[in-house]
Amino acid sequence: MTNPLYDRMLAGLKDQDRTFLTLADGSTLSGAAFHALAARQAGALAEAGLEPGDRVAVQVAKSPEALAIYAACVMSGVVLLPLNTAYTAAELEYFINDAKAGAVICDPAAQAEVSRIVGANGAQVMTLDKTGQGSFRTAWEAQPDTFAPVARKADDLAALLYTSGTTGRSKGAMLSQTNLISNAETLVDLWRFGPDDVLLHMLPIFHTHGLFVATNVILAAGASMIFLPAFDTAEALRLLPQSTSMMGVPTFYTRLLGDPAFGRDHVANMRVFISGSAPLLAETHVAFEERTGHRILERYGMTETNMNTSNPYDGERRAGTVGFPLPDVELKITDPESSATLPQGEVGIIEVRGPNVFQGYWNMPEKTAEELRDDGFFITGDLGQMDPDGYIQIVGRQKDLIITGGLNVYPKEIEMVLDDMPGVLESAVIGVPHPDFGEAVVGVLVADGDGPDMEAVQTAAAAQLAKFKQPKALRLLPELPRNTMGKVQKQKLRADFADLFSGS
């Protein structure tokens, strides 16, 4: 029996002398060296008593050694549980105990707290810092640089990724080998990746974007990466000329545009810029194309599915949309109440089906049954619509839908109006409790330059929006609260402004 994920993603590295990773200081790691590092780590995981199917929780800084843990898990059959480095001790306790992790790899500074969390449940605690040092390194250096990959089946669990948990408990999405392989192969073909590509990798690797989109695409294509700890504008400008591709969140692109030095000389060698994890403003699309001659390719995915749609590599990359369903993904827009498929152009819930769709939620059969239909369609919870040409537009999350006076309001529609106002850099529209309307529309704005004239914004919005859609209040913030992947945290805004109309 084989190990399909190893065979497809990692086996080719074993004898590869060419560079796989280039680091910020210019040092490099060949494919063969990376494979040997992962083999040693796999040996250390096995020596620690971890068996195929066991979970290893990993909360460490981004480094080549941290990335190799993913490969080591694939080799040893251990299920990877990557955790956001910003998670608190209380959050870690939930993830580690819910997943029944057999081991935790953490920063040395967190060792005492993590040891307290795992308590008497038998989980081992090993350490790894941002320089690749720690007790886990001591363990793998005692292992040989070869490891026979453990036999696994295509539907075996490869990773357990917890959702951000904006409402209720975070859910552990179970991703199989097939889920990861199929999506990577589709994206390699769709985005034209090949062995000569060099990806500028500045994303975190605890999230599906940096780990299973960026890294797996490069592995599947036999390409290489410039591997940076995080996004840094100066470093991006220095290294873009050595790259052919870049994947990022919208913040990466707005920061590049914010540097007057950024221009066409930096991107002369670039083939494609890809954006995701949060919506990209239409003006960012326009400004980036004017500055560089490149039109950003926007796509749509989520923890449970990896990528679902993409704007075309060849053809119109339409601002404000996430393109078309991937070739092996079925997508439909359904009525939230009846689940019936809606006519083209109507707003409804996006549902997807394909080999990329996860196996279900860890230890949550009821939640799995609610969101994963018997016919394989996954109810994403995202509201969307399909335009006459087949492009998908994300309108918002179902939980962000505002119902005011019994009427549905989609925040994205109002945000597009507010974003176009003079003095407004960006906006977020939320619904907050209101004694008369149930919910009231509130616009939260971030100033551009001297900022907006709030009365003028209200007047202009009134001219473009039906009365029930018009914000009942506008508030100005220095910036919108975002998670590590750049998504606006509307649940925090709703909490912050929950009492806005309590005296009404």
Residues 325-331 have a mean pLDDT of 97
If one compares 353 and 121, the residue with the highest pLDDT of the two is 353
Helices (H), 204-355: 208, 216-221, 233-239, 250-257, 282-292
Which residues are within 8 A (CB) of 119 and not within 5 positions of it... i.e. 6 or more apart?
none
Answer whether 9's CB lies under 8 Å from 179's CB. no
pLDDT at 285 over 70: yes
Residue 503: per-residue pLDDT: 65
pLDDT at 25 over 90: yes
Residues 294-307 have a mean pLDDT of 95
pLDDT at 456 over 90: yes
Residues 73-98 have a mean pLDDT of 92
Strand intervals (E) in 377-500: 378-386, 392-397, 402-404, 407-409, 424-434, 438-447, 473-477
Share of the chain above pLDDT 90, in %: 79
Residue 411: per-residue pLDDT: 87
The side-by-side arrangement of strands in the sheet containing 157-162 is: 124-127, 103-106, 55-59, 79-82, 157-162, 172-176
pLDDT by residue (tens digit) across 244-268?
Answer: 999 998 889 989 999 999 999 999 9
The DSSP call for residue 361 is B
pLDDT by residue (tens digit) across 225-241?
Answer: 999 999 999 999 999 99
Count of CA atoms in the C-beta half-sphere (13 A) of 310: 24
Residue 125 pLDDT grade (very low, low, confident, very high; cuts 50, 70, 90): very high
132's tokens:
């690749």
Residue 167 pLDDT grade (very low, low, confident, very high; cuts 50, 70, 90): very low
Among 127-136, 383-392, 430-439, whose mean pLDDT is lowest?
430-439
CB atoms within 10 A of CB 262: 20
Residue 168: per-residue pLDDT: 58
- Residues of the chain by 3-state class (helix, strand, coil), percent to 5: 35, 25, 40
For β-strands 473-477 and 157-162, DSSP reports them as: unpaired
Residue 504 pLDDT grade (very low, low, confident, very high; cuts 50, 70, 90): low
pLDDT at 107 over 60: yes
pLDDT at 270 over 80: yes
Residue 166: per-residue pLDDT: 44
CA dist 383 and 413 (Å) reads 12
Residue 71 pLDDT grade (very low, low, confident, very high; cuts 50, 70, 90): very high
CA dist 194 and 390 (Å) reads 28
43's tokens:
């040996």
Give φ, ψ of 358 to 5 degrees. Answer: -60, 175
Among 157-171, 264-278, 300-314, whose mean pLDDT is lowest?
157-171
pLDDT at 75 over 70: yes
Distance of CA 124 to the CA centre of its chain: 28
Helices (H), 323-453: 365-371, 411-419
Residue 358 pLDDT grade (very low, low, confident, very high; cuts 50, 70, 90): very high
Domains in the chain (CATH in brackets) are 4-152 (3.40.50.12780), 401-496 (3.30.300.30)
